[in-house]
Chains A and B, each alone.
Chain A
Amino acid sequence: MTTTLRDPTARATRTTTYREALREAHRDAMRRDDRVFLMGEDVARYGGCFAVSLGLAEEFGEERVRDTPLSESAFTGAGIGAALGGLRPIVEIMTVNFSLLALDQILNNAATLRHMSGGQLSVPLVIRMTTGGGRQLAAQHSHSLESYYAHIPGLTVLSPATLEDARGMLWPALEDPDPVVVFEHGSLYNVEGVLPEEPDPVDIVHAAVRRTGGDVTLVGHGGTVPKVLAAAEVLAARGIDAEVVDLRVLRPLDEATVLESVGRTHRAVVVDEGWRSVGVAAEVSARIAERALYELDAPVERVCGVEVPLPYPKHLEDAALPQVDDVVAAARRAVGDDA
């Protein structure tokens, strides 16, 4: 899937934000299907801890935009039960760190019931949560634990990086008969952009080439995509033409798009805010090594979060997270640009 800039004269567009795009997706889904409802901590009267659901309770009522107690396991499990009972719940969990309190429900029930029941049950549940650092929220609100969920068979794991995906991924996720986990990087909510008034559907299957180039493939997802695109511009100024692949879907991984790109560029840099060991970048690197080793002209580079609990002060947090300069340096190593 390739995202192209649209001719603004061709169709009506508007300037919006990632947050508003998510909100619009919820509004659209709840208008289209009366089985859809949202529940989570402070989603109704507070408007959502990141203001994604602001105004939705007023529009749809507090039955369908439902404040819950601080009981991640109970309300996530209740989402599973409501899905089994024929509804299409969206469960919002404030951060991925908090989602660990619901991991029993997500792993042992949501991801498991269909297979373990021999196909009798399915759990059409969407779980949304914030991920990632960069906002000085310290070590219990900032981690990128996408790999925990991407490890689990039975889940689809999404990482929308663009406004188009923030707007478009929710509906196909709700249409999916099985559980879908959506990671929203906290640094993206305020990102502005232009979307058509009548957006095109997007899929929740494929990775996307966000920038074409022939010298090196930069792979990112979610909050790292803007950094990776910025790195590509820096590299372009040095005469290095980088291709940028946005994974979009962390499970099942669309390795074909990655391998196709690496097959052309022969070099790969994989960027992920998660810790390096046993993470998303490790998985992508392994797939490249398994299936495209002889396409490579240089070792695969990984740019990942430093393996520490994320600290509060900005200089330390910055040092712990992948930055544009880190991606540039890794790409230069990959192409042998040591000038």
Chain B
Amino acid sequence: MTSTTADTTGPASGTRDAPHDPVAMLREMIRIRRFEEKCVELYSATSIRGFLHLCIGEEATAVGVLGALGPEDAVVSTYREHGHALARGVPAAEVMAELYGRATGCSRGRGGSMHLFDASRRFYGGNAIVGGGLPVAVGLALADAMRGRPVVTTVIFGDGAFAEGELHESANLAALWHLPVLFCCENNRYAMGTALGREHANPDLAARAAGYGMAARSVDGMDVEAVHAATEEAVAAIRRGDGPVFLELQTYRFRAHSMYDPDRYRDKAEIERFKGLDPITTLTARLVGAGLLAPEDVERIEAEVAAEVEAAVAAAAAGPWEPVSDLTRFLMTRGEDAGDGGPVRVPAAAEEGGVS
């Protein structure tokens, strides 16, 4: 299986014009990159806490996949999902506010970096249990299939998830029931710090997925146009009723697994080699070389993105905290706010009895 060879010299034919525009895809990748670079600063400044997993270097998978989906489609993502959320259209200000833990965040600040949700965009998180989103995606697709809705559920996960039982159970179930699921495996070669070859007896993930009886292919995940074309083709096949499709997107993260990771397990030369495949610089060079983009266009994009990121940070920092009185809110619909096992209210009689 080799990467796609779709013609990417101009807008491809299709129903959605904007995502086919390589300049628009470049812009979206730059937007994600600059957003996350700002996150690094803000993490160092302790404005963002908890775990922070960055997709710097992997922007082509987010932009290529999400741009090929329609608003009616569902997306289930993993914990390295800032790029997915932004490419799905979750406003940068809401994502940033979520990282700040503010009530104006896309999950009211309750989820943080790993748990971005936006029901209005059918963006179902933000799952930090590796592989945990896969069965949910199968169920979303099952609901669409049972209701006769021509909708695709895309589930994005990493190569680490391929070692989880939930991947194999879900792949089998989706193929068995012929469900409209697009499995997108972002293979960045490391499950946290464990290299692919040290984790998988057979590291050819697409071949193994094909063993479940679904179409599967491997794609150059550093090439946004290739990812977009492959996704578009897969989505069309799924909408035709051809059953689930598996895409292995071969990518690489330029930064460590998380902000806590000292990155001892990778060769620095390897990192530098992959930086040479940076999806943003390579696409920029190609578009400039082809005369589709002028240097001043890049400057304009950078300026617009910088302004958007700054505005997002300002809005996030100004956002309110959710009041502590809302702590148990949204736990259960029935008896909202009643909760269970909450603070014990000792009866007055007992207090008078001097319980200590």
- Residues of chain A at the chain B interface (Cβ within 8 Å): 37, 63, 68-69, 71, 73-87, 89, 104-105, 108-109, 113-122, 153-154, 156, 176-178, 251-253, 290-291, 293-294
Partner of B139, one of A63, A78, A153, A290: A78
Q: How far is the CA of A89 from the CA of B146 in the complex (A)?
A: 12
Residues of B within 8 A of A119 (CB): 108, 329-330
In the complex, are the beta carbons of B124 and A78 less than 8 A apart? Answer: no
In the complex, are the beta carbons of A105 and B135 less than 8 A apart? Answer: yes
15 contacts between A and B (CB under 8 A): A71-B172, A74-B170, A80-B136, A81-B135, A85-B147, A105-B132, A105-B136, A115-B330, A116-B107, A118-B110, A120-B107, A153-B340, A153-B341, A291-B347, A294-B353
Q: How far is the CA of A87 from the CA of B176 in the complex (A)?
A: 20
Distance (Å) between the CB of A155 and the closest chain B CB?
8
Distance (Å) between the CB of B124 and the closest chain A CB?
7
Q: How far is the CA of A337 from the CA of B319 in the complex (A)?
A: 65
Q: How far is the CA of A118 from the CA of B127 in the complex (A)?
A: 15
Residues of B within 8 A of A122 (CB): 333
Q: How far is the CA of A251 from the CA of B115 in the complex (A)?
A: 26
Residues of B within 8 A of A63 (CB): 146
Q: How far is the CA of A294 from the CA of B355 in the complex (A)?
A: 10
Q: How far is the CA of A63 from the CA of B179 in the complex (A)?
A: 13
Partner of B146, one of A37, A80, A114: A37
Q: How far is the CA of A80 from the CA of B107 in the complex (A)?
A: 19
**Contacts A77-B166, A105-B132, A118-B108 given: A85-B176 contact, CB under 8 Å?**
no
Q: How far is the CA of A192 from the CA of B147 in the complex (A)?
A: 38
How big is the B interface, by class? 35 or more
In the complex, are the beta carbons of B330 and A118 less than 8 A apart? Answer: yes
Residues of A within 8 A of B329 (CB): 119
- Residues of chain B at the chain A interface (Cβ within 8 Å): 74, 76, 105, 107-111, 115, 117-119, 124-125, 127, 129, 132, 134-144, 146-147, 153, 165-166, 169-170, 172-173, 176, 329-335, 338-341, 344, 346-347, 349-350, 353, 355
In the complex, are the beta carbons of B110 and A80 less than 8 A apart? Answer: no
In the complex, are the beta carbons of A77 and B134 less than 8 A apart? Answer: yes
In the complex, are the beta carbons of A78 and B173 less than 8 A apart? Answer: yes
- Select from chain B the residue with minimum beta-carbon distance to A109: B136
In the complex, are the beta carbons of A117 and B111 less than 8 A apart? Answer: yes
- Select from chain B the residue with minimum beta-carbon distance to A290: B344
Residues of B within 8 A of A121 (CB): 117, 119, 124
Residues of A within 8 A of B172 (CB): 69, 71, 74
In the complex, are the beta carbons of B147 and A86 less than 8 A apart? Answer: yes
Residues of A within 8 A of B330 (CB): 114-115, 117-119
7 extra interface residue pairs, beta carbon distance < 8 Å, beyond A83-B143, A87-B146: A73-B165, A77-B132, A81-B76, A84-B139, A114-B333, A117-B115, A117-B125
Q: How far is the CA of A198 from the CA of B115 in the complex (A)?
A: 46
> Among B139, B140, B340, which residue has the most Cβ atoms of chain A within 10 A?
B139
In the complex, are the beta carbons of A75 and B132 less than 8 A apart? Answer: no
Residues of B within 8 A of A75 (CB): 135, 173
Residues of B within 8 A of A120 (CB): 107, 117-119
Distance (Å) between the CB of B81 and the closest chain A CB?
14
In the complex, are the beta carbons of B119 and A117 less than 8 A apart? Answer: yes
Distance (Å) between the CB of B147 and the closest chain A CB?
7
Q: How far is the CA of A47 from the CA of B176 in the complex (A)?
A: 20
> Among B132, B135, B172, which residue has the most Cβ atoms of chain A within 10 A?
B135
Q: Which 7 A-B pairs have the closest CB atoms?
A: A81-B139, A77-B135, A85-B143, A118-B108, A74-B169, A78-B139, A119-B330
Partner of B117, one of A68, A118, A251: A118
Residues of B within 8 A of A253 (CB): 340
Partner of B331, one of A73, A83, A154: A154
Residues of A within 8 A of B344 (CB): 290-291
- Select from chain B the residue with minimum beta-carbon distance to A122: B333
In the complex, are the beta carbons of A84 and B140 less than 8 A apart? Answer: yes
Residues of A within 8 A of B108 (CB): 118-119
**Contacts A73-B165, A77-B138 given: A87-B143 contact, CB under 8 Å?**
yes
In the complex, are the beta carbons of A82 and B143 less than 8 A apart? Answer: yes
Residues of B within 8 A of A252 (CB): 335, 338-340
Q: How far is the CA of A309 from the CA of B142 in the complex (A)?
A: 38
Q: How far is the CA of A68 from the CA of B129 in the complex (A)?
A: 23
Partner of B176, one of A69, A251, A290: A69
Q: How far is the CA of A289 from the CA of B228 in the complex (A)?
A: 62
Q: How far is the CA of A261 from the CA of B331 in the complex (A)?
A: 29
Partner of B132, one of A37, A71, A87, A108: A108
Q: How far is the CA of A294 from the CA of B76 in the complex (A)?
A: 52
- Select from chain A the residue with minimum beta-carbon distance to B140: A81
In the complex, are the beta carbons of A293 and B143 less than 8 A apart? Answer: no
Q: How far is the CA of A89 from the CA of B139 in the complex (A)?
A: 10
In the complex, are the beta carbons of B333 and A177 less than 8 A apart? Answer: yes
Residues of B within 8 A of A177 (CB): 333-334
